[in-house]
Structure formats: C-alpha cells, structure tokens
Structure 1
C-alpha cells in the first residue's frame, strides 16, 4: 500500500534514523518533498521512489531492518507490476545489494560517495598548500562566514540560486538526488553563509548523516557568479572547524556519478557493457554531467573513505532506465 506523502515522509524520517544499517550517507534525501513512499502496516521501514515514465526510480534500498528488506522489496516489485512499470534503483549501498541480487536484479557500480574523518583532519602540510591559498584569497576579499538560520537568508538564497542557474545557461534545478532547503525538516539541516557586507556571496547547506559514520553531509552549495576564488572552500573550512569543536566524527561529501569506479567493487552478475559505459561517461561525459569537476572539489579535501554506490536494474542493465534516473532528477 502507498500512503499520503506528509505522513509518509515522517515515517521515512523515522526509518532513516532508526534503521541506518545500510550506511547510506545520503539517506536524508528520503524526506525530500516530491518523493513517493511504500510502507506496509505489518512491516517496519519504507521504500522511497519517484514514478518517472514507465519506471519507478527508487532512492537507495529499503530503509528498514535487515530482516524486513526482502519483504519490502517484494511488495515494491508487486507495486511496479501492478502499474506495468519497471524498477531502477539508484544509490544502492553494498549492504543492500544482496536482496536485489537474490531478486534477480542486475547491479552495477555507478559512482562513489566520499567521507572525511574529522578527528584527524587538518589543513596543515604541503598537500593542502593550494587549498589554503584559495581560502586565504576569499578571506582577504572581506568575506565573513557564519552559521545562520535559513529564515533570515531564504530570500537572498532564492535570488542567488536564480543567478547561479542563469550562469549555467538556464540549467534546470536538480531534484530527488540532491538536497532541498526549507520545508518541514529544515530545522534538522545546518546552513553556513559567506557574506560581503550585506550581500550573500555563497552558502553551503549540510544535512544529517546517520549510521556507522555519523555526522553531516556537504549538500547544496551555491555562490555568486562574480564571487572571488575560494568562497566555497572557505565556507566549508569554517563549517569543518565548527563540527570539529562539537566532536562530530565525519563530514560526508556525497555521491558523484561515474567516479570511484573499480573492478574490485563490482558485484556478481554485473553488466560488463554497462560498466564500460560508466567508464566512458567518466572520461568523456562532461557534457552530460560534470562528474570530474564535482570530484575535483571533493578530492581537494583528501577524503579518507570512498563508498561505492550502485544502480540496480529489475530487467537487465539498460540506457533507457539510466535516462529515467536523470529524468527523475529533473536533469533532462
């Protein structure tokens, strides 16, 4: 059965907090506005998805106790069949993959998530010299950085976002696999802003991460098109220092498609042709998605952990299924 979205999002929030065993660092995306949910009255947990064309595009695996995951997946398969749709699951974690393989899905690596251990992190040393220089330039420009309430900045953020998208040639605002701001769960996020005078120069929103590597995820970030170099790095440095003072264990940088691919992380029954295609998109697919640019920002911080992320196809790996993942994100 499906349930009304507002009630379901609360159930989803409870599930990602209560059942974090899959260690999905992006799990807070489960409560994005616009998501659909499958929940069974006799089974704990929830499945998060969006209907897109002839597909149900699922985010992550079932957010549920391990014993309940196969039951939820079977119900989801039944729901797709009743709607004459196929399932494609994105950002599946390795801990969730066995249920999908047992159900006959084809599972391929599609990218990686990156995490920084904060108790040992420092910007000292020659490896961070260029990063320190960029941050210093932003600070010398007169920018001040602080943690701030969203309500005080939401109008300025909306204006900045419009200019940022305009600078991308009128790019669409992404959804589903990126965070949101505002709404009923904004109080669980944190916002850091960089300001010149009274003008918002840039911001980074951080969402909570549960599981064995708890902390915060570097989520939405924007800057003014004419901002000086180092703005985002300086804001993130200030956030890191705040988190370290609080004893936060991990900072996550989230999922980057097509990155971190390796043969050792692939799973039995994978599609070799789809794996080849992912390698091609990493090398030559910048016009489709700027994965290398996104990865370069994350790599500056010398991540401690690379977590493989997977895509699962109900009826075999296919390019149309991948296109519908992008459609669900408003990317095409």
Structure 2
C-alpha cells in the first residue's frame, strides 16, 4: 500500500491519467484532484487514485475512486483500511451517483450534499426575453471599455494577487480563501487550465479560470472567478459570455458551472439507508446557511445561464452521518 505525497511530476501524471481515463462516475469537477495540497492514495497492483486531504481525525475524500472498474472497490477498501489503521475515519464529498451507490453498498451512510450545473453549448443562446436583463448588463460592461483576453497565469500573477486581495477583503475580516473543493491558479496543473482576464483602461478588474472536464459531458468548468468589488455591473457575465463564444467556436460541447452545496435537493434522489436528520440539515442550510456558504447567491449566478437539470452530488460517511465529519469537509476547504 502506498500513500503518495502531492507535488511530484510522476504523481501529477498518475492523477491526470486517472481522472481523464476512469470517467465512469462522470464527475465534472474531477480536475480538482490535481490541486496542490491534495494528496493521492494509490495501492500496488490497482489502477486508480483516491484524492483526499487530512483534516483533524478525518481523511476527507474528494469524489470517489478515479479507478478502473476492477480496481474501484479494492482501492476504496484499502483506503478505508489505511484510514482506520491511523485511527481516522473517512468522509467523502462530491460523490456522483455511481460513487454514491457503491459507497452505500459498502455500508457508508450516503446523503445528498448539493448539485452541479452545466450548459450544453451547441444549444445555448442568450436570445429571448429570459436573457434580456443579462444582455443589457453585458452590453453595459463592454460599453464601459471592458476587454477580455486569454492570458498565461504567470504573466498576470501580480494583477491576480491584487484582484484576489480586494475580492477577499470585501467578504469581511474573517474571510479565508477556500481550497480543495474550489479551483486554484498556478502549480504543475496550470498548463491544462485556461485563464481569461477582463481589463478596463488596461487595468485588470476580474478573471475567470476554466479547467478541463472529461467523460461523456466533456468540456470546460467555469472554476475560480474573482473581480474587483463595486466595479462594473455585468462584469463576470460579460467575461463568461465572451468565453462561451470562444468555446462554441472551438467545438466544445459543455460548460460546467461546478458544485454548489445545499442546492438541487430532491427526496427522490436519496439512497436507501440515508440519514433523515442529515437530509433535514441540508434543507435547513439551503434556507439559513448563508454564513457557512452563500449557496443561494452562487445558484442565482448559475441559473442566469439556463443550465440543464442539476447533477446530484453526495456526501458519504464512514459510519453514521455525523455533523463533526461534515464540518471537517469545510475545514479541509480552509473555511475555518
């Protein structure tokens, strides 16, 4: 059994191969497994990886195993044994339906956590009355002098830091930059991402980073995005609409908007053995949990683009559903 540390070229290649090849779970956020600070668990003789971070007494797993079909469950078994051997428990976040069923069969308590959202680009249009307000905001942004261009991240490092500092400062004195289940810029995986920056009068005022998505809904993920606070209305919509035109021209099929916790909850998607009390908690956090995560604000932005039906994502507990284990997902994300 081998527990590999992040940051090595060979490991990056192993993880990239796994997430781009073993796509049966159809996890649109799989590229997050490439983030710095996220470890990859492998085992001799098994084809696949498990992405995770340690937080307190938990190994917080991102997605299910990115593994060949015959290695999937053996790799999960070894990972759980690896955790238990250290006196730790496993909690998995952003599991897809394929993963959720496998974990439930293994004895995990599995509940809905939220949903991902995606737009089928060949069918996408901003025409019609539904998009009138957004078209007006986008036009206003471009009339303000906004220009959008794709740039190498290393060429914009200083500007990105300035935008990030201003954006984080607007979130309050205790705000922290999220990690793990949120994208990043830089590091060995940056060569696979695409960065688009908006400028007004040559000053960078916002950016959106896009990461690749593999599987039957291959395309791009609208990932990390930041802007100068109190700037031009419609700025991010204008950047994204410009990028959509580029992706459509390139023949991309899907633009994913990523995972938002507590959204798209539907009792019909719960699995046998789920926790009713945790199910209640997810609905409560959708209504009252803005201090923990601004799910309603995030969903409002995503719904502007008329996404397809939500892609349900799950959380899995190694034992009964636990608020402590759930909290450690957010701890792994640097939320506190």
Q: TM-score range by the shorter chain?
A: over 0.9
CA–CA separation in structure 1 for the residues paired with 2:215 and 2:172: 38
Task: Give 1:174 deviation, angstroms.
Answer: 0.5
Q: CA-atom RMSD, angstroms?
A: 0.9
Number of corresponding residues: 332
Match of 1:51 in 2: 54
Match of 1:148 in 2: 151
Q: Secondary structure at the match of 1:109?
A: strand
Take 1:11 and 1:145, find their aligned partners in 2: how far apart are those partners? 34
Answer yes or no: is the 8 Å Cα contact 1:145–1:235 preserved in 2: yes
SS in structure 1 opposite 2:134?
A: helix
Counterpart for residue 316 of structure 1: 320
Deviations 1:175-212 (CA, angstroms, capped at 9, x unpaired): 10011101111110001111012210100000000011
Structure 1 distance, partners of 2:230, 2:203, is 12
| Per-residue Cα deviation, 1:115-157 (whole angstroms, up to 9, x for no partner) | 0000010000001011111111111111111122212211100
User: What is the CA–CA distance in structure 2 between the aligned matches of 1:106 and 1:21, rounded to whole Å?
Assistant: 22
Residue number among 166, 169, 173 corresponding to 1:166 in the alignment:
169
Tell me what 1:95 maps to. Answer: 98
Q: Distance between the aligned counterparts of 1:77 and 1:127, measured in 2?
A: 48
Q: Which string of whole-angstrom CA distances, capped at 9 and with x for unpartnered residues, describes residues 52-79 of structure 1?
A: 1000000000001122111011001110
Question: Contact conserved, 2:113 with 2:261, CA < 8 A, in 1?
Answer: yes
> CA shift at 1:104, angstroms?
0.5
Q: 1:284 aligns with which of 281, 288, 301?
A: 288
Q: What is the TM-score normalised by the length of structure 1?
A: 0.98
* Residue of structure 1 equivalent to 2:4: 3
Structure 1: where are the runs of 5+ without partners?
none
Instruction: Tell me how far 1:99 sits from its aligned partner.
Output: 1.9
Whole-angstrom CA distance in 2 between matches of 1:4 and 1:297: 36
Contact 2:59–2:83, Cα closer than 8 Å, also in 1: yes
Which range moved further: 245-254 or 92-101? 92-101
- For the residue of structure 2 that corresponds to 1:73, the secondary structure is helix
Report the CA distance between 1:250 and its aligned residue.
0.1
Match of 1:180 in 2: 184
Alignment pair present for 1:78 and 2:81: yes
Among candidates 320, 326, 329, match of residue 333 of structure 2: 329
- What does residue 229 of structure 2 align with? 225
For 1:4 and 1:166, how far apart are their aligned partners in 2? 32
1:219-257 C-alpha deviation (Å, 9 max, x unpaired) = 000000131110000000000000000010000000000
The worse-fitting range, judged by mean Cα deviation, of 65-74 and 248-257 is 65-74
Report the CA distance between 1:98 and its aligned residue.
Answer: 2.3
Once residues 144 and 99 of structure 1 are traced to their aligned partners in structure 2, the CA distance between those partners, rounded to angstroms, is: 47
Contact 1:37–1:48 (8 Å) recurs in 2:
yes
Kept in 2, the 8 Å contact 1:69–1:99? The answer is: no
Q: Which residue of 2 aligns with 1:106?
A: 109
Deviation at 1:4, TM superposition (A): 3.4
**Contact preservation (8 Å) 1:116, 1:305:** no
Partners of 2:101 and 2:271 within 8 A in 1: no
Question: d(CA) in 2 for partners of 1:281 and 1:4?
Answer: 34
Aligned to 2:253: 249
Q: Residue 61 of structure 1 is aligned with which of 49, 59, 64? A: 64
Could you tell me which runs of 5 or more consecutive residues in structure 2 were left unpaired when the two chains were aligned. Answer: none
